Amino acid sequence: MKTKIIIGLILALAAAAFVIGSGKAQEIRGTISGGEKPRIAVPDFRGSGSAQRFMDTFNQTLWDELAGSGALTMVAKSVYPLNVPQRPQDFRPPSGNVSNGPWLTDWSNPPARANYLAFGYTGEQDQKLVLFGFLYNVGQPDITSAQVIGKLYYGSLDAEGAKKVAREFAADILQQFGAKSLDGSKIYFVSDRTGNKEIWSMDYDGSNQHAITHYNSVSTMPAVSPDGRMVAFTTYALGNPKIMIYSTETDKRLPFYNPVSSAVETPEFTPDSRHVLFATSLDGWVQICEADVSGADMRRISHVRAIEVSPKVNPKNPTQVVFISGRGGAEQLWSMNIDGGDLQRLTDGEGYVANPAWSPNGQFVAFAWTKGYEPGNYNIFVMDIARRIPVQLTHGAGRNENPWWAPDGVHLVFSSKRGQTTQLYTMLADGTNVQQLTTRGNNIQPVWSKAIN
């Protein structure tokens, strides 16, 4: 029950944050009552000419984008009507009880019981793939009032072009329901697949995996700036641990002045992307410090004889920081203000806590916790900070750590050791719809960056 409450709050807040700009969107938001997700039918699209070769890629991408959003209920293809429209002109209203061809009620009535229908087709034009994409509200009485989207999309005449137009069409559909597309967002992570721990990047769906660093050393603990333009990490490539900052647009190193220390770790950007919090050892204890994005003007925030690491700044309240502290014994989740005051322990002292991460709306924190298990066997939890109610998302499926929120606020990426290796997975914030992203080597410590506009 607690899990349902948490995910309901997350989805409701994500939807409330979306500013609707059209009458059609207003209509859609009011169509489904009682908290039910809109039911959408997405029959396979067909293509003409050379475009047909890429329709398997297109259809799978479109389905995955919509099904993975958490905003819609996908109507199973096995219950679709036999007559599937490709164009608005294909619809024919029935004459009495006699069908003249595809009609809206074919989709709104049982067995499909859809609320919406996405349909269309592709073709080739000037050496490009062209998608004619339509979204209809099949509960309307005629096709004029039913049309929500009718739009052309253009991509290259290959598999990548098919993916591009499918993602763009899916993004437009999701926007109608107050959901955000993850298209363009990236995940940075640590992988040892080359024999050394390097910083890697991939697209939100696990595609386009490539190394960012090539130090042949240990580079770890990535953090991405809120504007998506910088990634920071700790590396041992130069001897003592140092924080390095790279531009995500050029993959080039930016200047950062490091303290000389045996520990400089867990970097985190402030919401304005102008400062960095990190943990470093200055007097024998690893403590939390802050500096500007060049490493200058460093100041110490925590002052205690215990290890304190993993500072994370609330994206909606830059004065609030959560972090991991051993000041009470076992490492637990704590909060404080940016000046080190107003200390509060958020977890109950049982087990060990690690890897906190704020949701984009600043209301929830995801973290790894051994509560109820032997130390070392972590699971992913989410806590509503105001209510202090922790909800466990993973159960009995390996060692689960390093949760990080997607820009849409309803997905999480995390690492899990399920077998011999540790891989990266995504899931909805209620623990469902788990998808594996990596397969080679060991992959840990993911962070999710929004698309750069």
Which tens digit of pLDDT belongs to each residue from 176-225? 999 989 999 999 999 999 999 999 999 999 999 999 999 999 999 999 99
**Exposed e or buried b per residue across 278-298, where buried means at least 16 C-beta atoms within 10 angstroms of its C-beta:** bbbbeeebbbbbbbebebeeb
Q: Are 413 and 420 in contact (CB under 8 A)?
A: no
- CA–CA separation, 435 vs 113, rounded Å? 27
DSSP-derived pairing of the beta strands 186-191 and 443-449 = antiparallel
Q: Is 299 helix (H, G, I), strand (E, B) or coil?
A: strand
What's the half-sphere exposure (Cβ side, CA atoms, 13 Å) at 265?
Answer: 21
Q: Which two tokens stand for residue 321?
A: 């920081």
Secondary structure (DSSP) of 215-247: -SSBEEEEEE-TTSSEEEEEE-TTSS-EEEEEE
What's the half-sphere exposure (Cβ side, CA atoms, 13 Å) at 167?
Answer: 15
β strands within 106-191, DSSP E: 116-125, 128-137, 147-156, 186-191
Phi, then psi, of 343 in degrees rounded to 5: -75, 135
Provide the pLDDT for residue 16. Answer: 40
What's the CATH superfamily of 22-176?
TolB, N-terminal domain (3.40.50.10070)
H/E stretch holding 176 = helix 159-176
End-to-end Cα separation, the chain, in angstroms: 38
Query: In the beta sheet, which residues pair with residue 254?
Result: 245
Residue 188 sits at the vertex; the CA angle it makes with 207 and 287, to the nearest 5 degrees, is 165
* Neighbour-count burial of 6, counting CB atoms closer than 10 A to its CB (0-12 exposed, 13-18 middle, 19+ buried): buried
Give the start-to-end residue ranges of the domains of the chain: 22-176, 186-449
- CA–CA separation, 110 vs 108, rounded Å? 7
Q: Which two tokens stand for residue 86?
A: 């490709």
- CA–CA separation, 263 vs 285, rounded Å? 9
pLDDT tens across 68-87, in order? 998 999 999 999 999 999 99
Q: Are 212 and 251 in contact (CB under 8 A)?
A: yes
DSSP-derived secondary structure letter, 44: P
Q: Are 444 and 199 in contact (CB under 8 A)?
A: no
Q: Is 59 helix (H, G, I), strand (E, B) or coil?
A: helix
CA neighbor of 149 nearest in space, from 233, 40, 2: 40
Residue 265 sits at the vertex; the CA angle it makes with 447 and 401, to the nearest 5 degrees, is 45
CA neighbor of 103 nearest in space, from 91, 85, 116: 91
CA neighbor of 129 nearest in space, from 160, 100, 99, 108: 160
Provide the pLDDT for residue 99. Answer: 79
Provide the pLDDT for residue 20. Answer: 29
For 85, 211, 417, the CA distances from 125, given in Å and listed in that order, are 21, 36, 47
- Tell whether the torsion through CA atoms of 441, 445, 448 and 449 is positive or negative: negative
Q: Which two tokens stand for residue 203?
A: 């697209």
Q: Which two tokens stand for residue 447?
A: 């962070």
Place of tokens 């909805």: 428
Q: Are 443 and 427 in contact (CB under 8 A)?
A: no
Greatest alpha-carbon pair distance for the chain in Å reads: 86
Q: How far is CA 309 from the centre of its chain?
A: 24
Which stretches of the chain score pLDDT less than 50? 11-34
- CA–CA separation, 246 vs 301, rounded Å? 25
**For the whole model, what pTM was predicted?**
0.87
The CATH number for 186-449, chosen from 3.10.129.10, 2.120.10.30, 3.40.50.620, 1.10.760.10, is 2.120.10.30
Provide the pLDDT for residue 451. Answer: 86
- CA–CA separation, 149 vs 142, rounded Å? 15
